[in-house]
Protein backbone atom coordinates (compact mmCIF):
# COMPACT_ATOMS: atom_id res chain seq x y z
CA UNK A 1 0.00 0.00 0.00
CA UNK A 2 1.01 3.53 -0.59
CA UNK A 3 1.69 6.03 2.13
CA UNK A 4 1.55 9.79 2.02
CA UNK A 5 3.47 11.99 4.42
CA UNK A 6 2.70 15.63 4.97
CA UNK A 7 5.43 17.33 6.98
CA UNK A 8 3.98 19.77 9.46
CA UNK A 9 0.44 19.44 10.68
CA UNK A 10 0.29 23.20 11.21
CA UNK A 11 1.93 25.90 9.13
CA UNK A 12 1.69 29.63 9.76
CA UNK A 13 2.69 32.27 7.26
CA UNK A 14 2.31 36.01 7.10
CA UNK A 15 -0.02 37.51 4.55
CA UNK A 16 1.98 38.05 1.35
CA UNK A 17 4.62 35.46 2.25
CA UNK A 18 5.44 32.28 0.39
CA UNK A 19 3.34 29.24 1.17
CA UNK A 20 5.11 25.86 1.07
CA UNK A 21 3.28 22.71 2.11
CA UNK A 22 5.25 19.49 1.85
CA UNK A 23 4.09 16.11 0.62
CA UNK A 24 6.04 12.91 0.06
CA UNK A 25 4.66 9.62 -1.16
CA UNK A 26 5.96 6.08 -1.25
CA UNK A 27 5.77 4.46 -4.63
CA UNK A 28 8.16 3.02 -7.16
CA UNK A 29 5.66 3.73 -9.91
CA UNK A 30 4.57 7.33 -10.41
CA UNK A 31 0.97 7.53 -9.31
CA UNK A 32 -1.60 10.22 -9.77
CA UNK A 33 -1.07 12.98 -7.22
CA UNK A 34 -3.51 15.50 -5.86
CA UNK A 35 -3.83 18.41 -3.51
CA UNK A 36 -7.19 19.11 -1.95
CA UNK A 37 -8.28 22.06 0.18
CA UNK A 38 -10.91 21.99 2.89
CA UNK A 39 -12.48 25.12 4.32
CA UNK A 40 -14.13 24.90 7.75
CA UNK A 41 -17.15 22.60 7.84
CA UNK A 42 -16.98 21.86 4.15
CA UNK A 43 -15.96 18.96 1.97
CA UNK A 44 -12.70 18.65 0.09
CA UNK A 45 -12.19 20.63 -3.08
CA UNK A 46 -9.59 19.72 -5.70
CA UNK A 47 -6.79 22.28 -5.92
CA UNK A 48 -4.67 20.58 -8.55
CA UNK A 49 -3.58 17.21 -9.86
CA UNK A 50 -0.60 15.55 -11.51
CA UNK A 51 -1.36 12.86 -14.06
CA UNK A 52 1.99 12.47 -15.90
CA UNK A 53 1.85 15.50 -18.14
CA UNK A 54 3.92 18.52 -17.07
CA UNK A 55 5.76 18.08 -13.80
CA UNK A 56 4.84 21.60 -12.71
CA UNK A 57 1.12 21.71 -12.20
CA UNK A 58 -0.92 24.86 -11.79
CA UNK A 59 -4.13 24.85 -9.85
CA UNK A 60 -6.81 27.18 -8.65
CA UNK A 61 -6.29 30.26 -6.46
CA UNK A 62 -2.67 30.70 -7.57
CA UNK A 63 -1.38 27.42 -6.15
CA UNK A 64 1.05 25.17 -7.96
CA UNK A 65 2.91 21.95 -7.23
CA UNK A 66 5.94 20.27 -8.69
CA UNK A 67 6.25 16.53 -9.13
CA UNK A 68 9.80 15.37 -8.39
CA UNK A 69 10.17 11.67 -9.06
CA UNK A 70 13.69 11.43 -7.65
CA UNK A 71 12.49 12.85 -4.34
CA UNK A 72 9.03 11.21 -4.44
CA UNK A 73 7.66 14.61 -3.56
CA UNK A 74 4.77 16.80 -4.61
CA UNK A 75 5.08 20.00 -2.60
CA UNK A 76 2.43 22.71 -2.85
CA UNK A 77 3.43 26.35 -3.18
CA UNK A 78 1.91 29.78 -3.58
CA UNK A 79 4.09 32.87 -4.00
CA UNK A 80 1.96 35.18 -1.87
CA UNK A 81 -0.42 34.04 0.86
CA UNK A 82 -3.84 35.58 1.17
CA UNK A 83 -6.08 35.53 4.21
CA UNK A 84 -8.58 33.44 2.26
CA UNK A 85 -5.97 30.66 1.93
CA UNK A 86 -6.43 29.70 5.56
CA UNK A 87 -7.72 26.14 5.40
CA UNK A 88 -6.75 22.48 5.75
CA UNK A 89 -4.75 21.03 2.86
CA UNK A 90 -4.55 17.36 2.00
CA UNK A 91 -2.14 15.60 -0.30
CA UNK A 92 -3.44 12.41 -1.89
CA UNK A 93 -2.21 9.64 -4.12
CA UNK A 94 -4.09 7.20 -6.28
CA UNK A 95 -2.76 4.25 -8.14
CA UNK A 96 -3.22 4.28 -11.87
CA UNK A 97 -4.52 0.76 -12.02
CA UNK A 98 -7.30 0.90 -9.51
CA UNK A 99 -9.50 3.07 -7.40
CA UNK A 100 -7.48 3.14 -4.21
CA UNK A 101 -6.76 6.56 -2.77
CA UNK A 102 -4.33 7.39 0.00
CA UNK A 103 -4.45 10.64 1.92
CA UNK A 104 -1.96 12.43 4.07
CA UNK A 105 -3.06 13.55 7.51
CA UNK A 106 -3.43 17.13 6.41
CA UNK A 107 -1.74 20.47 7.04
CA UNK A 108 -3.63 23.32 8.61
CA UNK A 109 -2.54 26.64 7.12
CA UNK A 110 -2.90 29.81 9.16
CA UNK A 111 -2.34 33.18 7.50
CA UNK A 112 -1.30 35.97 9.84
CA UNK A 113 -2.34 39.50 8.91
CA UNK B 1 -19.93 20.03 -12.78
CA UNK B 2 -20.01 16.92 -10.67
CA UNK B 3 -22.21 17.25 -7.69
CA UNK B 4 -22.09 14.98 -4.68
CA UNK B 5 -24.86 15.70 -2.23
CA UNK B 6 -24.98 14.51 1.35
CA UNK B 7 -28.44 14.61 2.82
CA UNK B 8 -27.61 16.00 6.24
CA UNK B 9 -24.93 18.54 7.11
CA UNK B 10 -25.38 18.26 10.85
CA UNK B 11 -26.93 15.47 12.91
CA UNK B 12 -27.23 14.89 16.64
CA UNK B 13 -28.14 11.38 17.73
CA UNK B 14 -28.27 9.45 20.96
CA UNK B 15 -26.19 6.40 21.80
CA UNK B 16 -27.79 3.25 20.43
CA UNK B 17 -29.80 4.98 17.72
CA UNK B 18 -29.67 3.78 14.13
CA UNK B 19 -28.22 6.44 11.84
CA UNK B 20 -28.50 6.74 8.07
CA UNK B 21 -26.21 9.00 6.08
CA UNK B 22 -27.23 9.40 2.48
CA UNK B 23 -25.09 10.39 -0.48
CA UNK B 24 -26.15 11.02 -4.07
CA UNK B 25 -23.96 11.83 -7.07
CA UNK B 26 -25.21 13.09 -10.42
CA UNK B 27 -22.37 12.13 -12.79
CA UNK B 28 -23.01 8.42 -13.28
CA UNK B 29 -19.80 7.54 -11.43
CA UNK B 30 -19.09 3.88 -10.83
CA UNK B 31 -17.16 4.32 -7.59
CA UNK B 32 -18.43 5.76 -4.35
CA UNK B 33 -16.69 6.09 -1.01
CA UNK B 34 -17.39 6.87 2.62
CA UNK B 35 -14.63 8.45 4.67
CA UNK B 36 -14.43 9.49 8.25
CA UNK B 37 -12.39 12.56 9.17
CA UNK B 38 -11.01 13.21 12.64
CA UNK B 39 -8.46 15.82 13.76
CA UNK B 40 -4.91 14.57 13.42
CA UNK B 41 -5.99 11.38 11.68
CA UNK B 42 -6.85 12.73 8.26
CA UNK B 43 -9.33 10.80 6.15
CA UNK B 44 -9.92 7.15 6.85
CA UNK B 45 -11.82 4.95 4.43
CA UNK B 46 -14.83 3.17 5.90
CA UNK B 47 -16.32 1.46 2.83
CA UNK B 48 -16.31 1.85 -0.89
CA UNK B 49 -18.40 0.54 -3.74
CA UNK B 50 -17.41 0.07 -7.36
CA UNK B 51 -20.80 -1.00 -8.65
CA UNK B 52 -24.41 -1.33 -7.66
CA UNK B 53 -24.85 -3.82 -4.83
CA UNK B 54 -21.09 -4.21 -4.53
CA UNK B 55 -19.15 -3.07 -1.49
CA UNK B 56 -15.67 -3.39 -0.13
CA UNK B 57 -14.41 -2.78 3.39
CA UNK B 58 -12.02 0.02 3.89
CA UNK B 59 -9.65 0.60 6.77
CA UNK B 60 -12.21 1.09 9.53
CA UNK B 61 -15.46 -0.74 8.69
CA UNK B 62 -16.28 -1.87 12.22
CA UNK B 63 -19.57 -0.47 13.46
CA UNK B 64 -20.68 0.58 9.98
CA UNK B 65 -22.50 -0.93 7.04
CA UNK B 66 -23.37 0.43 3.60
CA UNK B 67 -25.98 0.05 0.93
CA UNK B 68 -25.84 0.73 -2.78
CA UNK B 69 -29.12 -0.19 -4.40
CA UNK B 70 -28.85 2.41 -7.17
CA UNK B 71 -25.77 3.64 -8.96
CA UNK B 72 -26.19 7.23 -7.86
CA UNK B 73 -26.84 6.56 -4.18
CA UNK B 74 -24.54 5.23 -1.46
CA UNK B 75 -25.75 5.05 2.11
CA UNK B 76 -23.75 4.68 5.30
CA UNK B 77 -25.50 3.03 8.21
CA UNK B 78 -24.57 3.08 11.86
CA UNK B 79 -26.63 0.23 13.33
CA UNK B 80 -26.16 1.38 16.90
CA UNK B 81 -24.44 4.71 17.21
CA UNK B 82 -21.76 5.14 19.84
CA UNK B 83 -20.02 8.25 21.13
CA UNK B 84 -16.75 7.27 19.44
CA UNK B 85 -18.52 7.59 16.11
CA UNK B 86 -18.87 11.32 16.60
CA UNK B 87 -17.05 12.63 13.56
CA UNK B 88 -17.20 14.29 10.17
CA UNK B 89 -18.31 11.88 7.44
CA UNK B 90 -17.39 12.56 3.85
CA UNK B 91 -18.85 10.91 0.78
CA UNK B 92 -16.96 10.89 -2.51
CA UNK B 93 -17.28 9.50 -6.01
CA UNK B 94 -15.00 8.79 -8.95
CA UNK B 95 -15.09 7.17 -12.36
CA UNK B 96 -13.10 4.51 -14.20
CA UNK B 97 -14.14 5.77 -17.60
CA UNK B 98 -11.66 6.50 -20.34
CA UNK B 99 -9.83 9.67 -19.56
CA UNK B 100 -10.10 9.00 -15.86
CA UNK B 101 -7.42 10.86 -13.99
CA UNK B 102 -8.26 9.47 -10.64
CA UNK B 103 -9.62 12.35 -8.65
CA UNK B 104 -12.32 12.04 -6.06
CA UNK B 105 -15.27 14.39 -5.95
CA UNK B 106 -16.47 15.11 -2.44
CA UNK B 107 -19.71 16.09 -0.84
CA UNK B 108 -19.97 18.85 1.75
CA UNK B 109 -19.72 16.44 4.64
CA UNK B 110 -22.04 15.34 7.44
CA UNK B 111 -21.03 16.24 10.94
CA UNK B 112 -22.44 13.65 13.34
CA UNK B 113 -22.55 14.09 17.08
CA UNK B 114 -23.52 11.10 19.21
CA UNK B 115 -24.56 11.95 22.76
For B3-58, write each residue's pLDDT tens digit.
999 999 999 999 999 999 999 999 899 999 999 999 888 899 999 999 999 999 99
Window from A13-17, A83-87, B2-6 with minimum mean pLDDT: B2-6
Question: Given this model, what pLDDT does residue B47 score?
Answer: 96
B101 touches chain A (CB under 8 A): yes
- The partner residue sitting opposite B40, judged by closest CB among A43, A90, A105, is A105
H or E stretch including B24? strand B19-25
Which site among A10, A43, A51 would you substitute to test the B interface, given the most B Cβ atoms closer than 10 Å to its Cβ? A43
Strand partners, A11: A109
Q: Answer whether A43 sits within 8 Å of B101, measured CB to CB.
A: no
Shortest distance between the Cα of A32 and any Cα of chain B, in A, equals: 7
Burial of B80: CB neighbours in 10 Å, binned 0-12, 13-18, 19+:
exposed
b/e string for B52-78 if b means 16 or more Cβ within 10 A? eeebeebeeeeebebbbeebbbbbbeb
b/e string for A8-29 if b means 16 or more Cβ within 10 A? eeebebeeeeebebbbbbebee
Q: Answer whether A32 sits within 8 Å of B48, measured CB to CB.
A: no
| Residues 6+ positions from A40 with CB-CB distance below 8 Å | A87
Read off the pLDDT band of A95 (50, 70, 90).
confident
Q: Answer whether B42 sits within 8 Å of A32, measured CB to CB.
A: no
Say if CB B18 and CB B36 are below 8 A apart.
Answer: no
Question: Given this model, what pLDDT does residue B2 score?
Answer: 66
β B19-25/B73-78 pair status: antiparallel
Question: Given this model, what pLDDT does residue A58 score?
Answer: 94
Say if CB B82 and CB B40 are below 8 A apart.
Answer: no
Judged against a pLDDT cut of 90, whether residue A44 lies above it is answered with yes
Q: What percent of chain B has pLDDT over 70?
A: 95
- The partner residue sitting opposite B42, judged by closest CB among A41, A96, A103, is A103
Nearest to A82 by CA among A9, A3, A16, A5: A16
Amino acid sequence: AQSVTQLGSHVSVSEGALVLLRCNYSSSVPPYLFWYVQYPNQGLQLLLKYTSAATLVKGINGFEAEFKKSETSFHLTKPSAHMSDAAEYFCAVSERTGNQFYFGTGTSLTVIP
Amino acid sequence: DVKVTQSSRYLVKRTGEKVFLECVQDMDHENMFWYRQDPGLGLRLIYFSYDVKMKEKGDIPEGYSVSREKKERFSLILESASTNQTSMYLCASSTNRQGWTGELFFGEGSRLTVL
